[in-house]
Structure 1
Amino acid sequence: MSDLPPDPPRLRAILGHLERQIAETEAVGIYLRLQCDAVRQALARASSSPSRECPAQRPGPQRRPPSSAQYLMETKLHLDDPLQVVVHVGGCTIRQGRRTSSAISMQQARMVLTDPVIGAGPGPICRPENKLGSDLE
């Protein structure tokens, strides 16, 4: 973008637009980074596993994030997963068994729950929106 206008008012308008775009896409960036982390973890588990069978068919304990996490985000299994992304309070044990949960901060939980693009919902039992404040309601 080397053909920027020379005058400050138009430069400020362009800068303002770019800053709004960055702020609006920050929540999506956080979500995508968390999804990448989940895929990397699944890849590491699959690579170190001696069995070649599909992980979805393999019985065994489900991976749970540490209960010391402030908030947990259950991600979708794939893009067409009909279940929505769900945010839980860190110690909540009422989660979908097949889904990957990632530890997130209070700020990330607030952002994920309020971003319409992600469309995340609060855990129905632990109700994280009660701890995050009334601005989510």
Structure 2
Amino acid sequence: MTELPPDLARLRAILRYLDEQLAGNETVGIYLLLQRDAARIALAAAERRAAPQRPSRPRRAAPAPAPAPAPANGSASSAPQRTGYVIEPKKHPKHPAPALYHLADCTMPQRETSRITPDQIRLGLRDPLGILAACEFCGPGKKLDTGD
């Protein structure tokens, strides 16, 4: 659900509908959970936009963090490693292409992603409707044991 409406009433209605569907439909439950999470994120963003803005006070700069100790093996790491998997939702619910799952550090997602567990991926891959597929760029399926 990348094209969510910006207004609070429709976002709340979508969230209520997704919660009802989750309660009654176990087959695509994992997909609906992910869609519900996306709707909650959009609702929170819309509520932040709708909230009256208070004038902000200037903030003091935070002290610089202490440098991290160097790894014991001598290799320097410039950024923390993002591990795990994320899911990129379909363009819209009736789009023929499936939702894609990626390695967390993949740069190819074109829409906002959400964290997903390997068990959720396996469940989505077993669905006969083909609602989930692996990213062809980062190849997360090579690292995921699908259990098939």
Normalised to the residue count of structure 2, the TM-score between the two structures is: 0.54
CA distance in 1, matches of 2:140, 2:27: 18
The residue number in structure 2 matching 1:8 is: none
Identity %: 38
Aligned partner of 1:79 among 79, 93, 114:
93
Task: Report SS of the residue matched to 1:86.
Answer: strand
Match of 1:39 in 2: 39
Higher helix fraction (1 or 2): 1
1:87-120, CA deviations, whole angstroms, 9 ceiling, x for partnerless residues? 1111111111xx2311011111222223223431
Query: Structure 1: which 5+ residue stretches go unaligned?
Result: 1-24, 51-66
How far does the alpha carbon of each residue in 1:22-78 deviate from its partner, in whole angstroms, 9 at most, with x for none? Answer: xxx65611211111010010111122126xxxxxxxxxxxxxxxx735111111243
Q: Is the 8 A contact 1:69 1:103 kept in 2?
A: no
Alignment length, in residue pairs?
94
Distance 1:70 1:27, change over 3 A: farther
> C-alpha separation between the residues in 1 aligned to 2:28 and 2:117?
15
Q: Could you state the TM-score of these two structures normalised by the residue count of structure 1?
A: 0.58
Q: Kindly tell me: are residues 101 and 134 of structure 1, through their superposed partners in 2, closer, same or farther at Cα, counting changes over 3 Å? A: closer
SS at match of 2:143: helix
